[in-house]
Amino acid sequence: MPRRDTISGLLWSAPWLIGFVAFLLVPLSMSVYYSFTDYPLLKPPVWVGLDNYTGLLSDTRFWLVVRNTAIYSIIAIPVCTLAALAVAAMLATPGLRGRAFWTAAVFLPTLVPMMATAMVWLWLYNARYGLINNLLGVVRITGPNWLEDVAWAIPAIVLTSVWGIGQMIVVYVAAINEVPGQLYEAAMLDGMGPVRRFIHVTLPMISPAILFNVITLTIGSMQVFVMPYVLFRNERGQRAAGDFYNLMLYDNAFVYQKFGVASAMAWMQLLIVLALTGVMLLASKRLVHYRGS
């Protein structure tokens, strides 16, 4: 490539390169360094070696938030995926009346700001006056104390996450619509019913979309923040059953001014997410079907 073209190319890509270095590479590198320091920002960082990491491993709150986040993710990922697939399958049903309306209806909740949604859930979950318990009362079921009962904290958060599956549904509907019609015809000729067609034709054909959604959902679940912040934190403090990884990370950074500890937590989280993503990508070699591969 002529030198002039190289310079021209670098100049054209310079804005992105500068942005990448200034706003991503340098902050990332600095946060690695800070994770090995005590850094309250208004004082210079002081090297503490692995203390931030070992301190976290011996911190009971750290293990509590890891446990809560893991349980939430283990429940939320399959629940949201199955719910999104089920709704997408219904929306993709040939001849469905009002398809555009229903698609818009399931997508709409994702457009509402998370904080506003959380405030609505706060009232929906109210044990005495909340809509959910009142509806349960109609069928003579005594609803739980969603936000105070330790056993119901994570199910309550999982339920709110189902509220936001609209984006996944849109991706699944698009993927289902791309499945060649002749595959369904062949399956029907082989005597498959709708359920078996969905399992043996639709799911393999949309498996790349499922992989994409599961990976993004995993990352999102590991970083859950707004809902537990609104539902489980008030003037009385943080309820342990609703304490999550990113809440502790936020507290360390912006409440306790322990930026070193917060950086260590961020890097540990990144490594966990990378490991999980790696496992999923490895598994996808056997489970995900790419058309033409």
Partner 1 sequence: MATTGLGFALFGPRGERDTLASKGRLVLDYWEKWTGHEGAAMQRVVDAFNASQDRLYVRYLVTSAIHQKAMISILGGSPPDIVGLYAFNVPSYAESNAVLPLDELAARAGLRIDQYAMGMRPVMQHGGRWVATINTGGALALYWNRALFREQAEALKARGIDPERAPRTIAELDLASEVLSRTTDGSALGKGPLARAGFLHMEPGWWSWIWGYHFGGTLYDAASDRAGAGGPEVVRAFEWLQSYPQRLGIDHVEKFRSGFGPYGTPQSAFLTGEVAMVVQGPWMANLIQAFKPDLDYGVAPFPVDTPLYDPDNPMTCIDTDVLMIPRGAKNPEASMEFIAFTQRQENVEALATAHCKGSPMVEVSEQFLSKHPNRGVRLHTALASSKRAYVAPATPVWTEYKDIFDTTMQDLWKLAEPAATRLPVVQARAQKLLDDAAELRRRRGEA
Which residues of the shown chain bind partner 1 in the complex (CB under 8 A)?
14-16, 18-20, 22-23, 38, 40-43, 46, 48, 55, 60-61, 126-129, 145, 147-150, 235-240, 243, 251, 254-257
Taking the complex as a whole, the smallest distance from the CB of residue 43 to partner 1 amounts, in Å, to 7
Distance CA 71, CA 243 (A): 12
Locate 207 and state its tokens: 């498996």
Does residue 234 sit in helix, strand or coil?
A: strand
The nearer residue to partner 1, 227 or 251, going by C-beta atoms, is 251
Taking the complex as a whole, the smallest distance from the CB of residue 36 to partner 1 amounts, in Å, to 13
Residue from 276, 284, 286, 288 nearest 77 by CA: 276
The nearer residue to partner 1, 16 or 101, going by C-beta atoms, is 16
The nearer residue to partner 1, 47 or 290, going by C-beta atoms, is 47
Taking the complex as a whole, the smallest distance from the CB of residue 3 to partner 1 amounts, in Å, to 24
Taking the complex as a whole, the smallest distance from the CB of residue 284 to partner 1 amounts, in Å, to 31
For residue 159, what are the CA distances in angstroms to 90, 163, 193, 227, 259? 20, 7, 31, 11, 32
Taking the complex as a whole, the smallest distance from the CB of residue 276 to partner 1 amounts, in Å, to 28
Residues 6+ apart with CB under 8 A from 109: 117, 163, 164, 166
Distance CA 50, CA 211 (A): 35
The nearer residue to partner 1, 124 or 288, going by C-beta atoms, is 124
The nearer residue to partner 1, 49 or 94, going by C-beta atoms, is 49
